Amino acid sequence: MASSRYTCIKTLQSPTAAHAAVKGSFLSATDTNLITSKGTRIEVYSLMDQSLVPVLDFNVFCRIASILPVTIEGRSTCSLFVLGDQQQYCILRYDPQTKSIVTEASHLLEQENARPNDDILSVIDPHCQCALISANTGLLTILPLQSDSKGKGKATSKQTAQFEPIVTKVPEFNIKSIAALDYKQEPMVAVLYEEEDAMWLKFYKVKIDKQPLHEYYKIKSPLEFTSHLLIAVPGDQGAILVVGEYTIGYYSPQDSICVSVDVIMVTSHTFINDRQCLLGDSLGTVYLLTLVGSRVEQLLIQNLGESSISSCLTFLGNDTLYVGSTQGDSKLIQIQHNESNSKKSLKVLDEYPNLSPITDFCLFDLDKQGRRTMVCTSGVHKDGSLRMVQSGIGFKERAVIPLAGVKRVFSASIMQNMKSDWHNALIVSTYSTTRVFYHPDPATKTMKELSTFSTMEMTAPTLAFRSLKNGHIIQITPMYVRLMHADGVSGTINQWQPPPNNAIMVAVISEHCCIVSCGTGHLVCIQIRDHGLVEMWNRPMEHEISALAICEGRGHTEMMVAVGSWDGNSIFILRVSDSSTVENKTLENTVPHSMLFQYFGQKLYLFVSVGDGRLVHYTLNARLKLQDQKTISIGTQSGSLYAFTNMHGNAVFCSSDQPTIINSEHGRLVYSAVNLKDVTGFGLFNNAMWPDSMMLLTKHAVLLGQIDPVRKLHFSKIPLDGKMGRRIAYHDDTQTLLVGTSLLHRDADSGKESNTGWLHVYDARTFQEIGKHDLIDNEVVESLCVARLWDDQRLYVFIGTAKPADSDGQDHSGRVLMFSFGANRRLQLVDAVEVPGVVYCIKPFMQSIAVGVNGSLYYMTSFRPEAGAGQRMTLASKIHTNVLVVDMDAKDDTLLVGDYMQSMSLLRLDESGPNQPLVNVARDFNSNWMTAVHFIDADLYVGAEMSHNVFTLQKPAVNADDMLLDDVLRLDVVGEYHLGDSINRMAQGSLSDALDETAQKKSWSLLYVTVNGAIGTMTGISKEEHDLFLKVQEQILKIQPPIGNMDYNAWRSFRNVMRTETTRNYIDGDLVETYLALSPSKQELVARALECDADQLRSKIENLCFF
């Protein structure tokens, strides 16, 4: 059955690259907001106590080229000027009453017969009189920013403003940078431009009339040729900084001064005050530039330290700096002052994860249990890292109790809450003491610590605690099991003590009994009665006990206890009634650290957490025998297990370095990662102030909050110690990750750059490095794959490299290196072969490998392990028809090739020919500059190209003679879509858990990653689904017009430098998903327009959006 040509494309992780950031009072007059642009997304944060709190985010239907704050006359808040890469702009403001974004103006800057600039430049003058935009060659657009009132009465916050653009010609045809100067009489703009192989600086005065630009003056001498950035100096009348790689100059109508600097490429800047400017360079260094003197007699530059490679710097006041990055994590930094030597330094206050750019990724199911993990190579140069990505759920904090060293936490119902389901106390156990925190008043958020309560033991740790339904409480410490009244007055009812010289090591409590382990293996069961504790039985065990779990029983299932031992690696199931053994299991080479019984539906499970981060689980049959053993990796350290109930029913929380919640869906266990790290404990706290809360223990605090049931992607960072991750692959036989990395070196004097490259091996479970291979000088990994060869069952590793072929570094050659794994997962070089170009891609193909070297395709025709070095692999050049092979995919005997300029082509290996040539079968004759390609099936293919589009091709029937050209079939374009981001890699699969292994997949699914750090999915849908969701899109756009009045259809249309086509056969899953956020009345409107049931439509959209 042929795959569907209809595609739903959906974002799983929004772009994370911070391209620009500005400061302003956007949400309210009293707010200090940071507004960041991330590709097609705008995020708004509030600055609170030297931290940034996310408040608002929204998407716009354009690639954002610039965002700038605009203060309209008479308003207490700022608006936001947004300029798109297709020359559309809008001005937005926030309405606090409706809590929505309001579009104040929108326009398209395109001029007939004008040639667009490569980069769109825009500035707003410091007094917000006008905006200036350089979007087309030889033209400047001036946008007046003034209110309607024009002096008639007092302006109000509800005034509208006029934003009619004025286009004027300028003689500068190659503008590099513009800046609006602080010039109070009238707006002034400085223009840095290239002319006759020299850089020049000119100043214009701006007048809002028919001739808006008037040349003020021009610097007579050409500037240093690497000058690339203008920075307006605040407070100075018409002063400007000109930044180059070797010099920084200061120019004003009265003065000019220029200083030499070490070779730097400044990428960002922000002023602290009118005499101090922060500069960020392309290596991540932050500098302080000081303008000395009232008329600037000297420029001083100081290195403040290292941060992420910045795309934007924004000073937020109070020595706080935001460093936005597209190449590493963004950061909030404090500028610290050293009073002894007057020097400044940087201190990181917070980090904001950024995955961009994602250069490669791999997807694997480590334990073959349907839980997929994605690992990406992210970041550039020193900001490189691995990012582990899993679908999971978030934890929303309600309160934080700063307590360090907490081992366990329990909720309690005491005093007036006795016999109530409401909790009003926390029992906190450290390694040596117990503390009680009491919440007496439901109207307050503060808790009071009690120095004593009833007869609780406060000078010892609490191993177990429970509030009983009859109003009593029970506490177990190493020396006591103590039953007490919960009123805080009556005291002890009864207590039990272990034999002399014995301590309680492990304990569990149910409503009717408690079971404790004493000394070196004595197991004691104590019955809990209304008026006392009664020892039921005492059973010696062969080995010391490591863990206990108790099952209350249900229906005909009797009460049981599971016992784990240290030395015997065993699990025993005992009857609580008489301590008899009903089951015994041995765990190989590991010890149970925590155990838990939990029912999911009618099935009873036993979960066992062991020491290396693995979780073992069994089901129990009617005879209480353990069966269906399965193992899954939760983290890298042993976890503790806790039972609770959520909206899905019974659940299990596993606290560990990677905390996880386990539910059951469709009769199968689903593991959801929680977006926290290093959680050491768990509890429930149902309080009037914090109802239905969870308590999570960390190293330094107790967190109160709730789980967000919506599954999202969560990611964790594995640093690469200053290296950049270039390529990654998963090796299933050894459960390892192969990572190609490089380290950039730059000569401080000449600015010349070189690289050192490696192939690293990481344990896929622990992410510990277990080996590496050093490449030769200035050689880096460009491609990487794992493959099996013909009848050889071993899984080999292949890398393709690039290295300079001459001293100038203009021409490159490469190598193909082959590795195998020896004992102890030791990486061994098998062979290395030189090739006359860069090895841009390697793919498993026909029980061998296909290799793309520049524009040629090679095939490994033989492998002779017995031959000498350099002769074991035989690579034969098969065809040279490409400009540059940037990506490939293989299916059976066919290769799908993505070319740098020539779109996609299909080639087939002709095994019947004398030299087994690769033969051109079909190609796309459109010009597309490809970045990634992938097979959907034998006749359907998807590709991504550099203008941020994706498209689908289909091979026509062989008898379509009218589509033959030089005996090569013309591939049909059957789908086109503008994504708005550049895709780097695609791979088959998804991040949703495989809930039913036997269920046949409905359609195909691909994951993709982008330059801006986004992760998304493409999924095949039926024509009926496509037609339905297309109508849903249309209705949503009618009910909810796009922010900024952006033209949605124009935004999603396929366009590059050669052609523009209306989008077809693609559904925007992000837009369709917004239906779920509409009010019920608006959902009903959409459903009525489609003549369908709103609940059924909602269900279909939920299924579409599940990843």
Residue 725 tokens, joined:
């991750």
Give residues with Cβ within 8 angstroms of 137, minimum separation 6.
114, 115, 116, 117, 173, 174
Strand partners, 218: 202
Residue 509 host element (H or E) = strand 504-509
For domain 721-863, give its CATH number from 2.130.10.10, 3.50.50.60, 1.10.3720.10, 2.40.128.120. Answer: 2.130.10.10
Residue 865 tokens, joined:
């392990």
Cβ pair 862, 792 in contact under 8 A: no
Residue 773 tokens, joined:
């291979």
Residue with the two structure tokens 């030889």: 138
- Tell me how far apart the alpha carbons of residues 525 and 808 are, in angstroms, rounded to a whole number: 80
Q: What is the pLDDT at residue 159? A: 46
Q: What is the band of 447 on the pLDDT scale with cuts at 50, 70, 90?
A: confident
Q: CB pairs under 8 A, 24+ apart, for 273-278?
A: 273/234, 274/233, 274/234, 274/235, 274/236, 277/231, 277/233, 277/241, 278/304, 278/313, 278/315, 278/321
What's the angle, vertex CA 56, arms to CA 52 and CA 59, rounded to 5?
Answer: 125
Q: What is the amino acid identity at position 77?
A: T
Strand partners, 42: 37, 58
Whether the bond into 165 is cis, omega within 30 of 0: no
- Mean pLDDT over each residue of the chain, to the nearest integer: 90
DSSP state of 1043: G
Q: What is the pLDDT at residue 186? A: 81
Among 31-35, 149-153, 314-318, 968-972, the range scoring the smallest mean pLDDT is: 149-153
Cβ pair 1059, 926 in contact under 8 A: yes
Give residues with Cβ within 8 angstroms of 26, minimum separation 6.
33, 35, 44, 69, 77, 78, 79, 80, 93, 94
Strands 139-144 and 130-136, bridge-based pairing: antiparallel
Alpha carbon distances (Å) from 829 to 747, 770, 819, 836, 843: 32, 15, 4, 21, 19
Q: What is the pLDDT at residue 1001? A: 53
CA 343 to chain centre: 36
- Tell me how far apart the alpha carbons of residues 526 and 536 are, in angstroms, rounded to a whole number: 5
Q: Would you identify the CATH topology of the domain 394-632? A: Methylamine Dehydrogenase; Chain H (2.130.10)
Cβ pair 723, 758 in contact under 8 A: yes
- Tell me how far apart the alpha carbons of residues 454 and 464 are, in angstroms, rounded to a whole number: 17
CATH 2.130.10.10-classified regions of the chain: 394-632, 721-863
Is 0.75 surpassed by the pTM of this model?
Answer: yes
Q: What is the band of 1015 on the pLDDT scale with cuts at 50, 70, 90?
A: very high
Give residues with Cβ within 8 angstroms of 732, minimum separation 6.
364, 786, 795
With 80 as the cut, is the pLDDT of residue 229 above it?
yes
Alpha carbon distances (Å) from 907 to 893, 904, 917, 920, 934: 9, 10, 10, 5, 14
Strand partners, 284: none
Backbone angles phi, psi at 682, to 5 degrees: -150, 150
E strand residue ranges, 722-825 = 724-731, 736-746, 753-763, 769-774, 780-787, 796-804, 812-821
Q: What is the pLDDT at residue 238? A: 84
Q: What is the pLDDT at residue 156? A: 41
Cβ pair 1086, 1035 in contact under 8 A: yes
What's the angle, vertex CA 341, arms to CA 337 and CA 347, rounded to 5?
Answer: 30
- Tell me how far apart the alpha carbons of residues 394 and 694 are, in angstroms, rounded to a whole number: 12
Helices 1094-1105/1023-1039 angle, 10° precision: 110
Render pLDDT for 169-194 as a digit per residue (tens, 0 to 9). 999 999 999 999 987 778 899 999 99
User: Average pLDDT of 10-27?
Assistant: 96
Render pLDDT for 253-291 as a digit per residue (tens, 0 to 9). 888 899 998 888 999 999 999 999 999 999 999 999 999
- Tell me how far apart the alpha carbons of residues 528 and 577 are, in angstroms, rounded to a whole number: 13
User: Average pLDDT of 626-653?
Assistant: 88
Backbone angles phi, psi at 452, to 5 degrees: -145, 155
Q: What is the band of 568 on the pLDDT scale with cuts at 50, 70, 90?
A: low
Render pLDDT for 99-143 as a digit per residue (tens, 0 to 9). 999 999 998 887 778 888 888 999 999 888 889 999 999 999 998
User: Average pLDDT of 719-740?
Assistant: 96
User: Average pLDDT of 658-663?
Assistant: 89
